[in-house]
Structure 1
């Protein structure tokens, strides 16, 4: 039976066919004709904060339990972005970040660090972030690539917003959706102490606050999760009184959590995230115009709405996207990679077999507790990933392969039985949330007679919101599907609080580390 595709989907697929190459990077927002199409990232880049420093823009995003933590991206035009680096080489403060102790359960993937606030002041970058359940951290660096020097404040400020006033005084503004009271924390001159805390405003369900000052007015941008919208407040004093308007929202006008950034020529642009049921939270960029002292998303001809397509804010910059494919030929991992938690550094290597990533099978109770699972963001609208893997050194009890990390964890992994027979196995693990156990569905087992295999995963965020796994012997032309297609879903209550991530994993079901696999390459394609 033929698949029914809407007119908009047909147009999108036609566009993709025109843009795609055999081994591409990711969704290209820049249309090559002076315009761009939203979203700027067709991937999960949640809780954005964007600043400009001279002619450069920097974008900070949540990374939860992933390591390294706090990804920052760079652009010269707000449309074409590359990964600049990370703030936290490893996560500290809880054994759960090492998958140890009582916190080592699937729920820890939904915690970690998120909703950062990035600023630049007197020649230095500053980032403030609050790991869930821990005190707020304030980090400083001369260059965005680091190294970053971090210290803790004396309290947990939920979704902190860092603000430097024109007189040089520094503040952190915080609010949590469970209350909505907005609290202003005054910082000491060295930024290491909270010297005063006072309530300044209230937004029902507000969180993710960003603060800026323009023409003598202070502005608060608050996400309102219960209605997936944004409110904007303004005042002539940080202590108020504040007047508040409702701004854009996910359902009708293109997003919720975000704020605005001023260009070098005085124009303003807005950034905002929009929840998608499968890929997660994607970032939109929008022109901003001012009316009666309020920032309005869109244009005077189409006010209050993030455009699907518009003229780029800055012309002449080259095409760029965050990296995806990796031949593992460099002495360090590409910046696109994050470990599911702090890795065991002795159990992976790019040097033991040059040109390959070696993953050793560490003992784990199951996939959720497996250390050294290497991940990167899946990409829409459609994408395909392939890996080449040498499984000759697998031991009995090892499970090593390719799949997703999220609410639905579809996997295709290699094993070896007690008789030495290699096989590929399909499995689907579904996370039910903190209060319910995960479900496990085991599928086909395919005996294999080769030690060099290629695994493939096809992800469709346009027509089906599903993924499928397949394999072939190295050098063969035909792919063989294994198991059933499985769902791609984003849900903040289950999985990782992120859209589906592509995951390469290798763990052992016994009590001692066993064998290993060598991965020759990881290749990404966005060709439909």
Structure 2
């Protein structure tokens, strides 16, 4: 989880130099910028190919595992709740959201937007593992540099329950279930440590420094911990342009030697960053893959997949296409899936009585103020003129490279002072929606919602366009272009008569500052500025691509 490194240090190429006599490791010559084993060109243009990014939605700091013939991945979600989504795939290419490892961010009042804010806190790089001995999934992550939390479930979709808290904060942790069933955690920033947990996973037995990053490399973090062919490996990222690996033949506590896996590698998203900070996974047939993410703001950090081979002496090599992370590769050779995964785009009519796992709240919701019953009801939960302080804002990731969100609302139960609508939500935001004042409901487009670098509100929004509303139902639409380096433009439109959509307001320029980390999201909201009691009903939401 790269939290504090300025952009200029991320993009600067650094030469690696040999080092000897390190306190906890030895630097070896790099495995050539991962071009040491170029990919087979003829194999990369076959019809059975996939295209990167495999998920053009914001899923960062990926940990990926295989259980049987099913692959699972976890990702960072920071202040969004529920946190730590569990993704599921049968081929490493097509993914669905199965559930969330952290059902509620019960780490303090700031995660409730109650007396504080949890923006850019919460769920950072964490770890997902499966323990065959008790057929249980484990999620492990530190919160607020204070302590580590462990959650478990017997199924990826949950229910997930907290197993324990550990007083040591395992920063950017990687959890390993060893072949003898012992649990180990690799963690740290530059100084890399390994901890051993008790047999029940509830307490720390020991922890030890195993590696100190050479100054010629800089910062290493984002640990992923593996045991492969009897060797122990810690996979590490150099934010945000490099990947390195440590290897020990003497056990989980080292000593470790290090090699470079990639540095300043061209990625598969035009204008995007270097693929990094992900995990290694092996198919049942024995093939290895690296699932990384690519910085691609304003949309966020997008997962990309590449095949991996191994040198004779046990070091991984990412397969390249023309010296870069490939835009396409042959699809993994895996068994036919038992079913098709649930698309991350499409229509949600909020059928049933629970939200689908594609949705995450901005901070924890007030559960007394919303409900799902063949439609989503959002009752006002906060009296504020600041959307960033309003509880029960429901968010949905944007699909890249461009996509459109359309929401159908029944606004007949709004009250004076209420504000409701569809937003593009980040530290610089805009929205289209309804304002009800003096018994009159107006349709408006608002921009100028801003935060500073400490995530305090610096602008609550300026109304820049308005239109009349006829009837109690309205369809709101936001279209976003999240291609990095492009215009990064978003537009809003509406339909109040069931007919064609009409543009409202000027184009909104999506900000691409990396420091908020999470990308833009579509967001449904309803808050009061005078008194609680109003409500809206969301009848339908659709995420579509051109």
- Normalising by structure 2, report the TM-score: 0.84
Q: Specify which of 405, 409, 412 is matched with residue 429 of structure 2.
A: 409
Contact 1:382/1:459 (<8 A) preserved: yes
- CA shift at 1:364, angstroms? 3.4
Closer, same or farther: CA 250–401 of 1 in aligned 2, 3 Å: farther
- CA shift at 1:441, angstroms? 3.6
- CA shift at 1:174, angstroms? 0.8
Q: Specify which of 182, 187, 192 is matched with residue 174 of structure 1.
A: 187
CA distance in structure 1 between the aligned counterparts of 2:396 and 2:455, rounded to whole angstroms: 27
Closer, same or farther: CA 283–250 of 1 in aligned 2, 3 Å: farther
Query: 1:199 — aligned with what?
Result: 209
What do you get for the CA RMSD once the two structures are aligned? 2.1
> Which secondary structure does the structure 1 equivalent of 2:119 belong to?
helix
CA distance in structure 1 between the aligned counterparts of 2:482 and 2:439, rounded to whole angstroms: 41
Q: Specify which of 373, 397, 407 is matched with residue 387 of structure 1.
A: 407
Establish whether residue 443 from structure 1 lines up as the match of residue 464 from structure 2.
Answer: yes
CA distance in structure 2 between the aligned counterparts of 1:266 and 1:132, rounded to whole angstroms: 38
> Which stretch of the first structure deviates more once superposed, 246-255 or 517-526?
246-255
CA distance in structure 2 between the aligned counterparts of 1:205 and 1:442, rounded to whole angstroms: 44
Q: Provide Cα deviations, 1:410-436, integer angstroms capped at 9, x if missing partner.
A: 111201121434342423312222177
Contact 1:427/1:441 (<8 A) preserved: yes
CA distance in structure 1 between the aligned counterparts of 2:347 and 2:355, rounded to whole angstroms: 11
Query: 1:336 — aligned with what?
Result: 358
Closer, same or farther: CA 263–42 of 1 in aligned 2, 3 Å: same
CA distance in structure 2 between the aligned counterparts of 1:164 and 1:126, rounded to whole angstroms: 10
Query: 1:489 — aligned with what?
Result: 511
Unmatched 5+ stretches in structure 1 = 1-30
CA distance in structure 2 between the aligned counterparts of 1:336 and 1:435, rounded to whole angstroms: 25
Q: Specify which of 445, 467, 490 is matched with residue 467 of structure 1.
A: 490
- CA shift at 1:89, angstroms? 1.9
- CA shift at 1:501, angstroms? 0.7
Query: 1:400 — aligned with what?
Result: 420
Establish whether residue 160 from structure 1 lines up as the match of residue 173 from structure 2.
Answer: yes
Q: Specify which of 297, 312, 325 is matched with residue 318 of structure 2.
A: 297
Establish whether residue 235 from structure 1 lines up as the match of residue 248 from structure 2.
Answer: yes
- CA shift at 1:247, angstroms? 1.8
CA distance in structure 2 between the aligned counterparts of 1:410 and 1:32, rounded to whole angstroms: 43
Closer, same or farther: CA 278–116 of 1 in aligned 2, 3 Å: same
Q: Specify which of 375, 400, 403 is matched with residue 356 of structure 1.
A: 375
The aligned runs of 1:206-355 (5 Å cut-off) are 206-225=220-239, 227-237=240-250, 238-249=252-263, 252-253=266-267, 254-292=274-312, 293-298=314-319, 302=321, 305-314=324-333, 316-317=336-337, 320=341, 321-351=343-373, 355=374
Query: Size of the alignment, in residue pairs?
Result: 480
Closer, same or farther: CA 34–86 of 1 in aligned 2, 3 Å: same
> Which secondary structure does the structure 1 equivalent of 2:452 belong to?
coil
CA distance in structure 1 between the aligned counterparts of 2:264 and 2:55, rounded to whole angstroms: 16
Contact 2:470/2:497 (<8 A) preserved: no
- Normalising by structure 1, report the TM-score: 0.86
Query: 1:18 — aligned with what?
Result: none
